[in-house]
């Protein structure tokens, strides 16, 4: 890699509090790809683009603008929810002079100012647009040959498409190219953009689990060995809640779920333990061992994943 | 009722919804509507256009929106359905109809800065992975200044006010599947 990139790191509440393996793999991979991350001090929750924004748009916009005002460099987020909040907030403030005035007054009382221009990047979008599949493929030391996955894009990285202007809001494929670049195969499946249901958990748990089950069942039926995704909310719903869903619907899914940075990390030669893969709730060990075994010879010393 | 109208008019909701010709593309693609017939974005938009705002904000089902934005992407009239539902929820929250979990999360964020914080066991796991300590977040002093500027204590009072009436309204105001 010849380019150097500098960003302020914004992990978001869920990764910070519950999913350290995502943060670990992202830090490892981004560093390997020439990204320098600095810590962002004094931040708060982005805040949550659904629960919080649904209650009070003005407070949501104020906290978002405040977070944006803290960063001396562009913000890199690992979470599609934080990305959604920041992009939507930038858009709302740019569009409406009235809102700018109102939110500006709140920030004034804190001695802060609304920043101008776009200040936020989603790690996956960065990987596609700034690194790119070809450059990524050159870095691969351990191709993920034989691995069949489905990609779960989640809602908020591509939608609203008129704000994000990143990929087709009904059938996004750009991030799948990154997975192909690792040597894995990305399978087609119906209704790729179907929501995982995580965001309904607060209002109706049964409905949320039902939505999660529908999504997992469709992905499992495609014949994939694993799911790849780029949002911690989807990760919680599809990995951490998978056992709950199995119990609720009396079924067995056992479908491993990877964060995109974890798969990239494996392909770049990082060890499963360094990546924290043992922290997944759906066991990824058999699949990872099969993968690494196929690459390095089944009888050799295969790095094992602690569970 | 006047207050409600004002709060919805502030964001031009009736105007933004007016172009709807009730095709139902929003509802057809809705992942929540698949399982809950009483979650019907087409109907919500119709209620806004017809000025049935009071009835709409009392519908507990509006809170089931997963905010997947499918409706917003698919509307042939470019109506931002999910955005409109969000503003309706704001008005609904001002009357105390928001789900308890949402209110609790918002209060955690405004009082501590985060929707959740790592527990001790998780900090140990972070440490085992060689991750740095989480960077220090917003301080108590600035949170207080924020809360005061936003008049947050008064807002919380309103959000918590009428939790019980929501359940009663549920059975009365939800229409039937044929609507």
Interval B21-70: pLDDT, tens: 999 999 999 999 999 999 999 999 999 999 898 999 999 999 999 999 99
Element (H, E) at A220: helix A205-221
Question: Do B115 and B134 share a domain, yes or no?
Answer: yes
* pLDDT at residue B178 in the model: 38
Residue from A12, A20, A217 to probe the interface with B (highest B Cβ count within 10 Å): A20
Question: Hey, what are A53's tokens?
Answer: 């924004």
Q: Can you state the percent helix, strand and coil of chain A, rounding each to 5?
A: 50, 10, 40
Question: Distance (Å, rounded) from C-alpha A29 to C-alpha A262?
Answer: 8
Question: Do B89 and B137 share a domain, yes or no?
Answer: no
Question: Do B67 and B141 share a domain, yes or no?
Answer: no
* pLDDT at residue B1 in the model: 52
Question: Do B8 and B25 share a domain, yes or no?
Answer: yes
Query: Does B122 sit within 8 Å of A18, measured CB to CB?
Result: yes
Would an 8 Å CB–CB cutoff place B98 in contact with chain A?
A: yes
Which percentage of chain A shows pLDDT scores above 90? 91
Q: Given CATH 1.20.1050.140, say whether it is the number of domain A5-122.
A: yes
- B132 neighbourhood in chain A, CB within 8 Å: 39
User: pLDDT grade, residue A64 (50/70/90)?
Assistant: very high
* Residue A299 in this model has a pLDDT that exceeds 60: no
* Residue A303 in this model has a pLDDT that exceeds 60: no
- B109 neighbourhood in chain A, CB within 8 Å: 44-45, 47-48, 52, 63
* Residue A87 in this model has a pLDDT that exceeds 70: yes
* pLDDT at residue B169 in the model: 47
* Residue A250 in this model has a pLDDT that exceeds 80: yes
Per-chain mean pLDDT for chain A: 94
Q: Give the CATH number, domain containing residue B77.
A: 1.10.1060.10
- Quote the ipTM score: 0.91
- A193 neighbourhood in chain B, CB within 8 Å: 68, 70
Any idea which residue has 């990764």 for tokens?
A: A15
Per-chain mean pLDDT for chain B: 88
pLDDT in tens, A131-149: 999 999 999 999 999 999 9
User: pLDDT grade, residue B8 (50/70/90)?
Assistant: confident
Question: Do B105 and B88 share a domain, yes or no?
Answer: no
Question: Do B6 and B25 share a domain, yes or no?
Answer: yes
* pLDDT at residue B85 in the model: 94
DSSP code of residue B94 = H
* pLDDT at residue A301 in the model: 46
Question: Do B16 and B84 share a domain, yes or no?
Answer: yes
Any domain includes B56: yes
Question: Distance (Å, rounded) from C-alpha A295 to C-alpha A140?
Answer: 13
Question: Do B69 and B110 share a domain, yes or no?
Answer: no
Any domain includes B178: no
Question: Distance (Å, rounded) from C-alpha A160 to C-alpha A168?
Answer: 10
Any domain includes B179: no
pLDDT in tens, A171-191: 999 999 999 999 999 999 999
Contact A151, A224 (CB under 8 A): no
For B52, the domain range is: 2-97+164-173
Question: Distance (Å, rounded) from C-alpha B75 to C-alpha B27?
Answer: 10
Q: What is the mean pLDDT of residues A241-258?
A: 98
> How do strand A5-10 and strand A35-39 relate by DSSP bridges?
parallel
Contact B122, A20 (CB under 8 A): yes
Where are chain A's structural domains? 5-122, 133-296
User: pLDDT grade, residue A66 (50/70/90)?
Assistant: very high
Would an 8 Å CB–CB cutoff place B156 in contact with chain A?
A: no
**In A, residues 50-89, which contact B (CB 8 Å cutoff)?**
50-59, 62-63, 66
Question: Distance (Å, rounded) from C-alpha A169 to C-alpha B70?
Answer: 8
User: Which phi and psi (to 5°) does residue A109 adopt?
Assistant: -65, -20
* pLDDT at residue A71 in the model: 93
> Nearest 10 degrees: CA dihedral of A186, A187, A190, A193?
-10
User: pLDDT grade, residue B79 (50/70/90)?
Assistant: very high
We find that the CATH architecture of domain A133-296 is: 3-Layer(aba) Sandwich (3.40)
Question: Distance (Å, rounded) from C-alpha B65 to C-alpha B83?
Answer: 11
Question: Hey, what are A48's tokens?
Answer: 């949550």
Q: What is the mean pLDDT of residues B91-119?
A: 94
Question: Do B90 and B111 share a domain, yes or no?
Answer: no
């Amino acid at each position: 890699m010849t380019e150097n990139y500098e960003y302020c790191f914004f992990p978001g509440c869920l990764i910070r509090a519950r999913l350290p393996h995502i943060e670990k793999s992202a830090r490892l991979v981004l560093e390997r790809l020439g990204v320098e991350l600095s810590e962002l001090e004094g931040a708060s929750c982005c805040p949550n683009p659904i629960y919080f924004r649904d209650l009070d748009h003005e407070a949501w916009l104020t906290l978002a603008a405040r977070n944006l005002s803290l960063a001396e460099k562009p913000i890199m987020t690992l979470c599609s929810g934080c990305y959604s909040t920041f992009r939507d907030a930038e858009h709302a403030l740019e569009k409406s002079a009235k809102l700018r005035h109102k939110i500006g007054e709140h920030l004034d009382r804190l001695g802060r100012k609304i920043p101008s221009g776009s200040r936020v990047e989603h790690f996956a979008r960065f990987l596609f647009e700034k690194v790119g599949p070809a450059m990524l493929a050159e870095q691969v030391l351990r191709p993920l040959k034989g691995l069949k996955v489905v990609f779960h894009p989640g809602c908020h990285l591509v939608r609203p498409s008129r704000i994000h202007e990143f990929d087709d809001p009904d059938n996004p494929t750009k991030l799948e190219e990154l997975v192909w670049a690792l040597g894995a195969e990305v399978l087609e499946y119906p209704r790729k953009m179907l929501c995982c249901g995580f965001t309904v958990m607060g209002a109706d748990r049964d409905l949320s689990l039902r939505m999660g089950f529908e999504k997992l069942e469709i992905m499992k039926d495609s014949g994939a060995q694993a799911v790849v995704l780029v949002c911690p909310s989807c990760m919680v719903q599809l990995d951490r809640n998978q056992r709950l869903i199995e119990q609720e619907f009396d079924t067995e899914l056992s479908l491993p779920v990877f964060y995109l940075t974890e798969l990239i990390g494996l392909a770049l030669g990082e060890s499963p333990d360094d990546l924290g893969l043992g922290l997944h709730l759906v066991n990824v060990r058999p699949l990872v061992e099969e993968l690494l075994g196929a690459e390095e010879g089944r009888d050799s010393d295969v790095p094992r994943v602690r569970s | 009722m006047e207050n409600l109208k004002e709060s919805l008019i502030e964001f031009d909701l009736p105007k933004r919804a007016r172009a709807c010709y009730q095709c139902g593309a929003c509802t057809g693609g809705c992942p929540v509507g698949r399982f809950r017939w009483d979650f019907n974005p087409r109907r919500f938009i119709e209620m806004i256009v017809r000025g049935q705002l009071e009835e709409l904000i009392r519908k507990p089902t509006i809170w089931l929106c997963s905010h997947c934005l499918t409706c917003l992407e698919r509307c042939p009239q470019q109506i931002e359905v999910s955005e409109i539902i969000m503003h309706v929820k704001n008005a609904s929250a001002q009357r105390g109809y928001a789900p308890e979990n949402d209110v609790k999360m918002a209060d955690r964020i405004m009082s501590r800065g985060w929707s959740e914080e790592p527990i001790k066991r998780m900090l140990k796991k972070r440490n085992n992975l060689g991750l740095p300590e989480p960077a220090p977040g917003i301080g108590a002093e600035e949170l207080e200044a924020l809360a005061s500027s936003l008049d947050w204590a008064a807002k919380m009072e309103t959000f918590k006010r009428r939790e019980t009436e929501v359940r009663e309204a549920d059975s009365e105001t939800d229409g039937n599947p044929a609507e």
